[in-house]
Protein backbone atom coordinates (compact mmCIF):
# COMPACT_ATOMS: atom_id res chain seq x y z
CA UNK A 1 0.00 0.00 0.00
CA UNK A 2 1.34 3.39 -1.03
CA UNK A 3 0.45 6.86 0.16
CA UNK A 4 -2.14 8.68 -1.95
CA UNK A 5 -1.80 12.47 -2.07
CA UNK A 6 -5.53 12.86 -2.74
CA UNK A 7 -6.35 11.02 0.51
CA UNK A 8 -3.62 12.59 2.66
CA UNK A 9 -3.40 15.36 5.23
CA UNK A 10 -0.18 16.49 6.88
CA UNK A 11 0.01 17.21 10.62
CA UNK A 12 3.13 18.84 12.11
CA UNK A 13 3.30 18.58 15.89
CA UNK A 14 4.99 21.07 18.24
CA UNK A 15 8.11 22.33 16.48
CA UNK A 16 8.34 25.11 19.04
CA UNK A 17 11.28 27.49 18.92
CA UNK A 18 12.08 27.16 22.63
CA UNK A 19 12.04 23.36 22.41
CA UNK A 20 14.01 22.68 19.24
CA UNK A 21 17.53 23.56 20.51
CA UNK A 22 17.23 20.67 22.99
CA UNK A 23 16.01 18.15 20.39
CA UNK A 24 18.34 15.43 19.06
CA UNK A 25 19.20 16.30 15.43
CA UNK A 26 16.81 19.24 15.75
CA UNK A 27 18.07 21.17 12.70
CA UNK A 28 17.54 18.17 10.42
CA UNK A 29 14.11 17.51 11.89
CA UNK A 30 12.92 21.08 11.27
CA UNK A 31 14.37 21.05 7.75
CA UNK A 32 12.45 17.87 6.93
CA UNK A 33 9.25 19.26 8.43
CA UNK A 34 9.61 22.30 6.19
CA UNK A 35 10.19 20.09 3.16
CA UNK A 36 7.06 18.11 4.00
CA UNK A 37 4.96 21.28 4.31
CA UNK A 38 6.28 22.66 1.01
CA UNK A 39 5.74 19.34 -0.78
CA UNK A 40 2.21 19.20 0.58
CA UNK A 41 1.58 22.75 -0.64
CA UNK A 42 2.82 21.85 -4.12
CA UNK A 43 0.54 18.80 -4.24
CA UNK A 44 -2.59 20.36 -2.70
CA UNK A 45 -2.37 18.30 0.50
CA UNK A 46 -3.88 20.09 3.54
CA UNK A 47 -1.34 20.99 6.23
CA UNK A 48 -2.11 21.49 9.94
CA UNK A 49 0.08 22.35 12.90
CA UNK A 50 -0.14 22.03 16.67
CA UNK A 51 1.54 23.90 19.52
CA UNK A 52 1.76 22.65 23.10
CA UNK A 53 0.82 25.36 25.64
CA UNK A 54 2.04 28.21 23.40
CA UNK A 55 1.53 30.78 26.16
CA UNK A 56 4.15 28.96 28.19
CA UNK A 57 6.36 27.35 25.54
CA UNK A 58 6.03 29.84 22.69
CA UNK A 59 5.08 29.43 19.06
CA UNK A 60 6.37 27.03 16.42
CA UNK A 61 9.44 27.98 14.38
CA UNK A 62 8.49 31.08 12.32
CA UNK A 63 9.43 29.46 9.00
CA UNK A 64 7.20 26.49 9.77
CA UNK A 65 4.25 28.70 10.71
CA UNK A 66 4.68 30.46 7.35
CA UNK A 67 4.85 27.15 5.46
CA UNK A 68 1.68 25.87 7.15
CA UNK A 69 -0.21 29.08 6.42
CA UNK A 70 1.01 29.10 2.81
CA UNK A 71 -0.66 25.73 2.23
CA UNK A 72 -4.13 26.97 3.21
CA UNK A 73 -5.46 26.91 -0.38
CA UNK A 74 -5.86 23.13 -0.14
CA UNK A 75 -7.54 23.35 3.27
CA UNK A 76 -5.77 23.33 6.57
CA UNK A 77 -3.37 26.19 7.08
CA UNK A 78 -4.18 26.45 10.78
CA UNK A 79 -2.31 25.64 13.99
CA UNK A 80 -4.09 24.16 17.00
CA UNK A 81 -3.11 25.50 20.42
CA UNK A 82 -3.40 22.61 22.87
CA UNK A 83 -2.82 21.68 26.48
CA UNK A 84 -3.22 17.90 26.19
CA UNK A 85 -0.20 16.01 24.89
CA UNK A 86 -2.64 14.13 22.62
CA UNK A 87 -3.95 16.82 20.24
CA UNK A 88 -7.07 14.73 19.57
CA UNK A 89 -8.21 15.61 23.10
CA UNK A 90 -8.18 19.29 22.09
CA UNK A 91 -10.15 18.78 18.86
CA UNK A 92 -7.62 17.86 16.17
CA UNK A 93 -9.74 15.01 14.80
CA UNK A 94 -12.63 17.45 14.29
CA UNK A 95 -10.35 19.63 12.15
CA UNK A 96 -9.29 16.63 10.06
CA UNK A 97 -12.80 15.40 9.32
CA UNK A 98 -15.05 17.03 6.70
CA UNK A 99 -17.90 19.11 8.17
CA UNK A 100 -21.11 17.22 8.78
CA UNK A 101 -23.78 18.53 6.44
CA UNK A 102 -26.84 19.76 8.29
CA UNK A 103 -30.20 18.57 6.92
CA UNK A 104 -32.11 21.11 4.90
CA UNK A 105 -34.70 22.77 7.06
CA UNK A 106 -37.90 24.49 6.04
CA UNK A 107 -41.59 24.11 6.77
CA UNK A 108 -42.50 22.72 3.35
CA UNK A 109 -39.39 20.74 2.42
CA UNK A 110 -40.95 17.34 3.01
CA UNK A 111 -44.45 18.32 1.87
CA UNK A 112 -43.33 19.26 -1.64
CA UNK A 113 -44.05 16.79 -4.46
CA UNK A 114 -41.07 14.53 -5.13
CA UNK A 115 -40.35 16.13 -8.49
CA UNK A 116 -39.91 19.51 -6.75
CA UNK A 117 -37.75 18.26 -3.90
CA UNK A 118 -34.01 18.79 -4.21
CA UNK A 119 -32.03 15.56 -4.24
CA UNK A 120 -29.98 14.95 -1.12
CA UNK A 121 -26.42 16.18 -1.52
CA UNK A 122 -23.71 13.56 -0.98
CA UNK A 123 -21.66 13.79 2.17
CA UNK A 124 -18.24 15.36 1.52
CA UNK A 125 -15.45 12.86 1.11
CA UNK A 126 -12.82 13.06 3.79
CA UNK A 127 -9.10 12.42 3.70
CA UNK A 128 -8.50 9.51 6.03
CA UNK A 129 -4.71 9.22 5.74
CA UNK A 130 -2.75 11.34 8.21
CA UNK A 131 0.94 11.89 7.54
CA UNK A 132 2.33 13.11 10.85
CA UNK A 133 5.65 14.26 12.28
CA UNK A 134 6.76 16.23 15.30
CA UNK A 135 8.34 16.59 18.70
CA UNK A 136 8.77 15.22 21.20
CA UNK A 137 8.40 11.88 19.48
CA UNK A 138 7.76 9.93 22.69
CA UNK A 139 5.24 12.42 24.12
CA UNK A 140 3.07 14.70 21.96
CA UNK A 141 3.82 13.08 18.61
CA UNK A 142 3.24 9.55 19.89
CA UNK A 143 0.15 10.34 21.93
CA UNK A 144 -1.41 12.29 19.05
CA UNK A 145 -0.66 9.51 16.56
CA UNK A 146 -2.16 6.91 18.89
CA UNK A 147 -5.20 9.13 19.38
CA UNK A 148 -5.69 9.37 15.61
CA UNK A 149 -5.41 5.60 15.28
CA UNK A 150 -8.15 5.25 17.88
CA UNK A 151 -10.26 7.60 15.75
CA UNK A 152 -9.76 5.17 12.84
CA UNK A 153 -7.48 7.35 10.73
CA UNK A 154 -4.63 5.69 8.83
CA UNK A 155 -1.47 7.11 10.40
CA UNK A 156 1.92 7.39 8.70
CA UNK A 157 4.77 8.70 10.88
CA UNK A 158 7.63 10.48 9.09
CA UNK A 159 10.56 9.29 11.17
CA UNK A 160 13.25 11.69 9.91
CA UNK A 161 11.02 14.66 10.77
CA UNK A 162 10.47 13.47 14.37
CA UNK A 163 12.71 13.51 17.39
CA UNK A 164 13.03 13.82 21.15
CA UNK A 165 15.62 15.21 23.52
CA UNK A 166 17.24 11.78 23.48
CA UNK A 167 17.71 9.23 20.70
CA UNK A 168 16.54 6.45 23.02
CA UNK A 169 13.17 8.07 23.68
CA UNK A 170 12.70 8.79 19.97
CA UNK A 171 13.40 5.19 18.97
CA UNK A 172 11.15 3.81 21.73
CA UNK A 173 8.31 5.92 20.33
CA UNK A 174 8.84 4.49 16.84
CA UNK A 175 8.78 0.93 18.20
CA UNK A 176 5.54 1.54 20.03
CA UNK A 177 3.87 3.30 17.10
CA UNK A 178 4.79 0.51 14.69
CA UNK A 179 3.37 -2.03 17.11
CA UNK A 180 0.13 -0.04 17.34
CA UNK A 181 -0.39 -0.06 13.57
CA UNK A 182 1.21 3.16 12.34
CA UNK A 183 3.30 3.05 9.16
CA UNK A 184 6.85 4.39 9.52
CA UNK A 185 8.20 6.32 6.52
CA UNK A 186 10.76 8.98 5.62
CA UNK A 187 10.39 12.39 4.00
CA UNK A 188 11.60 11.09 0.64
CA UNK A 189 9.27 8.10 0.80
CA UNK A 190 6.35 10.50 1.29
CA UNK A 191 7.50 12.68 -1.61
CA UNK A 192 7.82 9.91 -4.18
CA UNK A 193 4.68 8.07 -3.07
CA UNK A 194 2.66 11.28 -3.35
CA UNK A 195 4.15 11.83 -6.82
CA UNK A 196 3.93 8.23 -8.11
CA UNK A 197 5.37 9.23 -11.50
CA UNK A 198 8.03 11.45 -13.06
CA UNK A 199 5.24 12.75 -15.32
CA UNK A 200 3.53 14.46 -12.38
CA UNK A 201 3.06 18.22 -13.08
CA UNK A 202 5.02 19.24 -9.95
CA UNK A 203 7.68 16.52 -10.18
CA UNK A 204 10.54 18.98 -10.74
CA UNK A 205 9.42 21.23 -7.89
CA UNK A 206 9.18 18.33 -5.44
CA UNK A 207 12.44 16.84 -6.69
CA UNK A 208 14.13 20.17 -5.95
CA UNK A 209 12.84 19.97 -2.37
CA UNK A 210 14.11 16.39 -2.10
CA UNK A 211 17.57 17.34 -3.36
CA UNK A 212 17.69 20.29 -0.96
CA UNK A 213 17.91 17.74 1.84
CA UNK A 214 21.19 16.41 0.40
CA UNK A 215 22.99 19.71 0.88
What's the whole-number average pLDDT of the chain?
A: 90
Residue 207 has pLDDT above 60, yes or no: yes
Give the pLDDT band (50/70/90) at residue 198. very high
Question: What backbone torsions phi and psi does residue 156 show, to the nearest 5 degrees?
Answer: -120, 120
Sheet of 8-13, strands arranged across? 76-82, 47-52, 8-13, 129-134, 154-158, 183-185
Mean of pLDDT values over 37-48:
96
8 A C-beta contact, residue 164 and residue 138: yes
**How many other C-beta atoms can be found within 10 angstroms of the C-beta atom of residue 56?**
9
How confident is the model at residue 112, as a pLDDT? 54
**What sections of the chain are H helices per DSSP?**
26-42, 54-57, 62-70, 92-96, 142-150, 167-180, 187-195, 203-212
Q: Minimum mean pLDDT among 82-96, 108-122, 126-140, 155-169: which range? A: 108-122
CA atoms within 13 A on the CB side of 122: 3
Encode pLDDT of 48-62 as tens digits.
Answer: 999 999 999 999 999
**CA atoms 61, 63, 67, 70: torsion sign:** positive
Residue 101 has pLDDT above 70, yes or no: no
How confident is the model at residue 212, as a pLDDT? 84
Ranges of each domain in the chain: 5-99+126-212
- Name the DSSP letter for residue 72: G
Buried/exposed 128-145: b ≥16 CB within 10 Å, e otherwise: bbbbbbbbbbbbbbbbbb
Give the Cα separation of 5 and 110 in Å (integer). 40
Encode pLDDT of 1-12 as tens digits.
Answer: 899 999 999 999
How confident is the model at residue 100, as a pLDDT? 47
Give the pLDDT band (50/70/90) at residue 109. very low
CA atoms within 13 A on the CB side of 101: 9
Give the Cα separation of 215 and 211 in Å (integer). 7
Alpha-carbon torsion, ordered 105, 108, 114, 118, to 10 deg: -40
Mean of pLDDT values over 127-156:
97
Q: What percent of the chain has pLDDT over 90?
A: 80
Whole-model pTM? 0.87
Question: What backbone torsions phi and psi does residue 125 show, to the nearest 5 degrees?
Answer: -80, 135
> Domain 5-99+126-212 falls in which CATH fold?
Rossmann fold (3.40.50)
Amino acid sequence: MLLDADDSQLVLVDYQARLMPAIFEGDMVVANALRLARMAHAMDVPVWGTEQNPDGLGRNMPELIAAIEAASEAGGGKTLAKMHFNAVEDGLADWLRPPVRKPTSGPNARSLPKHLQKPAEPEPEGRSTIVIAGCEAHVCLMQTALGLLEEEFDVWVVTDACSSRSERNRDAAFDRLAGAGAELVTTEMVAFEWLRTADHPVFREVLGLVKAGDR
